[in-house]
Structure 1
Amino acid sequence: MRALTKTTLADTAVEAIRSEILARRWLVGEKLPNEASLSSMLSVSRGTIREAVRVLASQGYLETRQGSGTYVRSTADFGRPLDMARRAGLRDQFETRLALEIEAARLAALRRTPEVISQLRALLVARGNYEGGGKAAFIERDLAFHKAVIAASQNRAMVEIYEFFSLSIADTIEATLGADIPEPDMQAHVAIVDAIESGDQEATGFAVRRFMAPVIAALDRLLMS
C-alpha cells in the first residue's frame, strides 16, 4: 500500500475543503477557520492546510488576504467542466480505438494462423486481471495484447497508426482501472480471440464492439449526469 505522503494528504485536504465549500458550509465572502482549526478538523498538519489553501486559491475557490485570513471567493463547481471535458475527450479516444480495433480484428480473423492464436492466448494469460497495485505494469500487459491483435491484421499502416496513438490508448486502459469506467473483463478479451480463431469477420467485429460497449455507455452516463 502506498504511504500517505504530504502530496496525497494535501490532495485529500483540498477535496475535503472543496466539498465543504460546494456544500455551502461557508458562504461567499465568509472567512474560513484558521489554520489550527482546519488542521484539527482534518487531522493533518498546518503545512498541509497551507498547501490545500494555496491550491484552492489558484482554482478560484478561496482568496487569501494578508494579515486577515482566508475567505471564500466562489462556491461554483469549477471542477465539473474540467471533468466533463476530460470525459468527452476520453469518449473520443475510445471511439477512435474502437474503429481501429474492429477493423484490425476483422482482418486478423481473415488472416489468422494457429501461431497467432496461440500468441494471443499466451498474452491474455500474461495479462491476467487487474487486482489493484502495479497499474503501469498491467497497462503494459493489456496494451501488449491489443497491439498483438492489431499486428495480426497484417496491415502495416494500421499497425503504425495504432502505435502512433499508443499513448492515447494507454490512457484509455488506465481510465478503466478507476471507479467510474468499467474495465472489460477477461471473458470479453477471450471472446475476441475466440471470434478471430473462428474466422468469422462479422462475429469478430461484434465481439470487439461488445467489448467496448459498457465503457462507452458509462462515459455517456457520466457526460449526462
Structure 2
Amino acid sequence: MEGFSNIKNKLLAEQVQEQIYHYILELSMRPGDKLPNEFELGEKFGVGRSTIREAVKLLASRGVLEVRQGSGTYVVSTTPSDLDPLGLSGVEDKIALALDLVNVRLILEPGIAEMAALNATEESIRQLRYHCDQVEEKIKAGDLYIRDDIAFHTSVARCSGNMVVEQLIPIIDTAVLMFVNVTHQKLTKETIMTHRAIVDAIAAHDPIGAKTAMMMHMTYNRNMILKLMKEEKEQR
C-alpha cells in the first residue's frame, strides 16, 4: 500500500507542477519574479505543502524555478528545458525572436496546410476539428490556450501524412512558449476565424484554400509582432 501511496503522490505532484507552470504563464511572470509561499500555493491548488514542494522540485529540475534558501522560490525561465528543442530560451529580445520564428513558419506552414488538404483522412480531420474546438472554447472562457494551439498546428502537420513534417512543426510550435505573451490573447478573434478557415479548407480537400488560410493566420501574427516592435521602439 505504501508503494501505491508513493505513486499516487508522485502523479499528484506532476499534475500540480503543470498547474503551477500555467499559473506562471497566466500571470505573465518573468525571470526573477517570486512565487507565493508553499502555504499560499497549497491553498490555491488544494493540496498539501509536501505536494507543492515536490511540484516545485520538478519545475526546478526543468529549469523553470529556483529555490533560494531563506528567500523563497523564483522564476528563472518561462520555458522548460524539455520544451526548448531549438535552444532559443537564452535570447533576450523575445519580440525579435518572435518575428524570426514567424518568418520561418510563413515559409513552412502554408505549404504544410496545402499538403494536408491533399492527404487528410477522415480521422485526422476529426482530430483537427477537435483541437480547433478546444482552442475556441479556451479563448471564449478566457483560459490560456497555448498548448491547444500547439496541438492544432501539430494536427495540421499530421493531416499532411508526411512523417518529416509531423516531427518538424511541433519543434517550431513549442518555441512559441517562449513568447506566449507577445501575440497570444491579443489576436483571439483572428485566431478563431483563421483556424476555422484552415479546418474547413482541409476538410474540403481544397489545397489552395488551406494554403491561403494558413498564410492569413501567420500574417495576422506577423503584423502584430511588427506593431509591438514599433511601439517598443517609440517608447525608447
**TM-score normalized with structure 2 length:** 0.53
Equivalent positions of 1:31-180 (< 5 A) are 85-127=93-135, 128-130=137-139, 134-135=143-144, 138-171=145-178, 173-177=180-184
User: Percent identity over the alignment?
Assistant: 26
Q: Distance in 2 between matches of 1:120 and 1:140?
A: 14
| CA spacing shift, 1:126–1:191, aligned 2, 3 Å | same
The structure-2 alpha-carbon separation of the partners of 1:174 and 1:117, relative to structure 1 and needing over 3 Å to count, comes to: farther
**Paired positions, count:** 145
User: Structure 2: how far apart are the matches of 1:167 and 1:141?
Assistant: 11
| CA displacement, residues 33-57 of structure 1 (integer Å, 9 cap, x when unaligned) | xxxxxxxxxxxxxxxxxxxxxxxxx
Does the 8 Å contact 1:139/1:174 carry over to 2? no
Q: RMSD value over aligned CA atoms?
A: 3.0
Q: 3-state DSSP class of the match of 1:185?
A: helix
The one-character-per-residue Cα deviations of 1:99-145 (angstroms, maximum 9, x if unpaired) are 2221111111011222222221122222324257653xx21122111
Structure showing the higher helix proportion among its residues: 2
| Separation in structure 2 between the aligned mates of residue 151 and residue 172 of structure 1, nearest angstrom | 24
Distance 1:219 1:194 in 2: 27
Aligned to 2:192: 186
The alpha-carbon deviation at position 174 of structure 1 amounts to 4.6
After superposition, the Cα gap between the structure-2 partners of 1:222 and 1:175, relative to the gap in structure 1 and judged at 3 Å, is: closer
Distance of aligned partners of 1:197 and 1:186 in 2 relative to their CA distance in 1, 3 Å threshold: same
Moved more, 103-112 or 168-177: 168-177
Which AA in structure 1 matches 2:162? N
2:193, 2:101 → 1: CA distance?
23
Contact kept in structure 1, 2:117 and 2:206, CA below 8 Å: yes
2:166 and 2:206 map into 1 onto residues whose CA distance is 21
> Are 1:213 and 2:228 an aligned pair?
no
Which residue number corresponds to residue 12 of structure 2?
none
Q: CA deviation at 1:223?
A: 2.5
Q: How far, CA to CA, are the matches of 1:112 and 1:134 in structure 2?
A: 29
Contact 1:129 1:185 in 2 (8 A): no
Asked if structure 2 preserves the Cα contact closer than 8 Å seen for 1:112 and 1:197, the reply is yes
**What residue in structure 1 maps to residue 19 of structure 2?**
none
- C-alpha distance 99-126 of structure 1, shift in aligned 2 (>3 A): same
8 A contact 1:94–1:172 mirrored in 2: no
The runs of 5 or more residues in structure 1 that have no matched partner are: 12-81
Farther-moved stretch of structure 1 (125-134 vs 142-151): 125-134
The structure number with the bigger radius of gyration is 1
Which of 195, 203, 224 pairs up with 1:197? 203
